[in-house]
């Protein structure tokens, strides 16, 4: 299938084979993007919403330019992560309130979405993490029920398998992967109405299939966790003030409010006082934060703030998101994604289409 080419040209099949052999895009072939998952309104006419979809806005960190990624159907409270040049979206809730177990994959090489096998349990507000060629769906909610179940998806075999259940049901937590362990930080251990917070960290060892618990001295909900420097930075979110008793038998329920504060977790799950993190310059709920080149980047609306260890404050990027036909509602998550450089994109998509055609012909 290889054909003679002029000097300086690449064969699509040869390029595709090299990518598959090397496990994806090599350094110099891609740009790093911050891709934010948000809820947007498309085609709003006279105040009437025609379509509501889950959109993805990409910020090219090398060129500091903004791009759009094809949207999905509307999904609220989905899991969202990236592995190399692929995005994954799990579960979520539709407008009618139904919770899904779907798993979708976006391939930056082809620019296309594909639906993969669904989770065994529909989930929303769950943990969704990657470690060693597996995706992990952890806890969350399904309808009114809070879940303690967990499962993993093998990216090679393309199938889900159950793993050890959480010690108890929990949702709305921050989550991160560090050194082959999965961390679930804070969250709600029961229904939102009951106000039962989880003051602790759940740590899952992917090698031994065992959960451990570490206490946390305070409450936090819907924060964002970013792995860096052999630990985990926990960014903003919601906090709950302690309940106070006004009169015997009467408890004034605590108020949940947003926080600008951030903290650092060591790999053993304890809060470290040795790492000082400045407060966020602006309140954003939930925070959309990623790590790139030893800096934490937080997306606030269409603006990016960044911070690196040792800095006394956050720095605001000069580049704002462009005006589009899509009306912004809220950003709910963010990841970094390897996207092929624009000069390579047509060639890679041609190679993918050609290989698909050959596969169909062989069938």
The pLDDT tens digits of the residues spanning 140-158 come to: 999 888 999 999 999 999 9
Residue 5 lies in a domain: no
Question: Do the beta carbons of residue 284 and residue 269 sit within 8 Å?
Answer: no
Residue 10 lies in a domain: no
C-alpha angle 127/122/173, rounded to 5°?
Answer: 20
pLDDT at 160 over 60: yes
Which range has highest mean pLDDT (34-43, 196-205, 285-294)? 196-205
Coil/strand/helix, residue 360: helix
Residue 360: band (very low, low, confident or very high) from pLDDT cuts 50, 70, 90? very low
Residue 164 lies in a domain: yes
pLDDT at 289 over 60: yes
Rounded Cα gap, residues 202 and 81, in angstroms: 20
pLDDT at 114 over 90: yes
How far are the Cα atoms of 93, 168, 182, 189 from residue 146, in angstroms, in the given order?
14, 9, 19, 8
pLDDT at 21 over 70: no
Token digits of residue 177: 């992967």
pLDDT at 128 over 70: yes
Rounded Cα gap, residues 280 and 326, in angstroms: 27
pLDDT score recorded for residue 117: 97
Q: Which residues contact 51 (CB under 8 A, 6 or more apart)?
A: 41, 42, 43
Rounded Cα gap, residues 9 and 115, in angstroms: 33
Residue 96's CATH number: 2.120.10.80
Residue 351 lies in a domain: no
Rounded Cα gap, residues 341 and 25, in angstroms: 10
**Domains of the chain: total:** 1
pLDDT at 305 over 80: yes
Average pLDDT, the chain: 79
pLDDT score recorded for residue 122: 96
pLDDT score recorded for residue 70: 86
Q: 323-335: per-residue pLDDT in tens?
A: 554 454 456 678 9
**Domain range for residue 40?**
30-340
pLDDT score recorded for residue 195: 54
pLDDT score recorded for residue 131: 96
Rounded Cα gap, residues 117 and 355, in angstroms: 23
pLDDT score recorded for residue 77: 87
**Overall average pLDDT of the 197-209 stretch:** 94
Rounded Cα gap, residues 118 and 105, in angstroms: 12
191 vs 136: which has the higher pLDDT:
136
H or E stretch at 347: helix 345-362
- Taking alpha carbons only, the member of 306, 195, 284 closest to residue 236 is 284
CB-based contacts of 316-323 (< 8 A; 24+ apart in sequence): 316/281, 317/64, 319/59, 319/64, 319/65, 319/66, 321/57, 321/59, 321/66, 322/66
Q: Look-up: residue for tokens 């595709």? A: 16
Rounded Cα gap, residues 205 and 207, in angstroms: 5
Rounded Cα gap, residues 125 and 145, in angstroms: 11
Residue 150 lies in a domain: yes
- Taking alpha carbons only, the member of 189, 158, 150 closest to residue 172 is 189
Burial 188-214 (b: 16+ CB within 10 A, else e): bbeeeeeeebbebbbbbebeeeebeeb
Q: 141 forms bridges with which residues in the sheet?
A: 124, 146
Question: Do the beta carbons of residue 252 and residue 203 sit within 8 Å?
Answer: no
pLDDT score recorded for residue 215: 93
- How far the first Cα of the chain sits from its last, in Å, is 17
pLDDT at 4 over 50: no
pLDDT at 91 over 90: yes
pLDDT score recorded for residue 154: 97
Residue 112 lies in a domain: yes
Residue 44 lies in a domain: yes
Q: Which of 72-76, 171-175, 222-226 has the lowest mean pLDDT?
A: 72-76
The predicted model scores a pTM of: 0.83
**Overall average pLDDT of the 255-259 stretch:** 74
pLDDT score recorded for residue 68: 80
Q: What is the DSSP string of 13-32?
A: HHHHHHHHHHTSPPTTSEEE
Residue 49: band (very low, low, confident or very high) from pLDDT cuts 50, 70, 90? very low
Coil/strand/helix, residue 353: helix
Q: To the nearest 10°, report the CA torsion of 280, 39, 346, 156.
A: 90
Residue 352 lies in a domain: no
CA quadruple 70, 99, 48, 41: dihedral sign: negative
- The proportion of the chain whose per-residue pLDDT surpasses 70, expressed as a percent, equals 72
H or E stretch at 358: helix 345-362
Find the radius of gyration of the CA atoms of the chain. 22
pLDDT score recorded for residue 20: 47
């Amino acid at each position: 299938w290889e054909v003679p080419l002029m000097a300086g040209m690449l064969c699509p099949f040869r390029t595709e084979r090299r990518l598959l052999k090397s496990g994806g895009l090599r350094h110099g072939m891609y740009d790093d993007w911050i891709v934010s998952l948000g809820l947007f309104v498309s085609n709003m006419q006279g105040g009437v919403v025609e379509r509501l979809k889950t959109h993805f806005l990409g910020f090219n960190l090398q060129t500091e330019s903004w791009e759009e990624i094809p949207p999905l159907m509307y999904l609220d409270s989905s899991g969202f992560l990236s592995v190399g040049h692929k995005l994954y979206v799990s579960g979520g809730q539709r407008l009618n309130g139904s919770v899904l177990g779907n798993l979708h994959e976006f391939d930056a090489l082809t620019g296309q979405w594909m639906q993969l096998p669904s989770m065994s349990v529909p989930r929303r507000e769950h943990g969704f993490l990657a470690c060693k060629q597996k995706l992990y769906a952890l806890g969350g909610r399904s309808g009114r029920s809070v879940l303690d179940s967990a499962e993993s998806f093998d990216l090679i075999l393309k199938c889900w398998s159950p793993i050890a259940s959480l010690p108890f049901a929990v949702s709305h937590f921050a989550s991160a992967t560090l050194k082959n362990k999965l961390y679930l930080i804070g969250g709600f251990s029961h229904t939102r109405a009951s106000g039962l917070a989880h003051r602790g960290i759940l740590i899952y060892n992917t090698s031994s299939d065992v959960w451990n618990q570490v206490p946390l001295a305070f409450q936090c909900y819907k924060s964002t966790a970013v792995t860096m420097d052999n630990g985990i930075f926990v960014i903003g979110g919601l906090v709950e003030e302690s309940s106070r008793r006004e009169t015997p038998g009467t408890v004034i329920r605590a108020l949940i409010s947003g926080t600008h504060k951030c903290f650092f977790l060591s790999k053993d799950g304890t809060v470290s006082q040795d790492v000082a993190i400045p407060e966020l310059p602006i309140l954003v709920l939930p925070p959309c934060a990623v790590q790139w080149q030893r800096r934490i980047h937080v997306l606030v609306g269409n603006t990016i703030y960044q911070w690196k260890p040792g800095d006394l404050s956050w720095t605001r990027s000069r580049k704002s998101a462009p005006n589009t036909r899509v009306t912004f509602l809220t950003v709910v998550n963010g990841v970094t994604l390897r996207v092929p450089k624009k000069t390579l994109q047509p060639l890679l998509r041609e190679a993918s289409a050609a290989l698909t055609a050959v596969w169909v012909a062989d069938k």
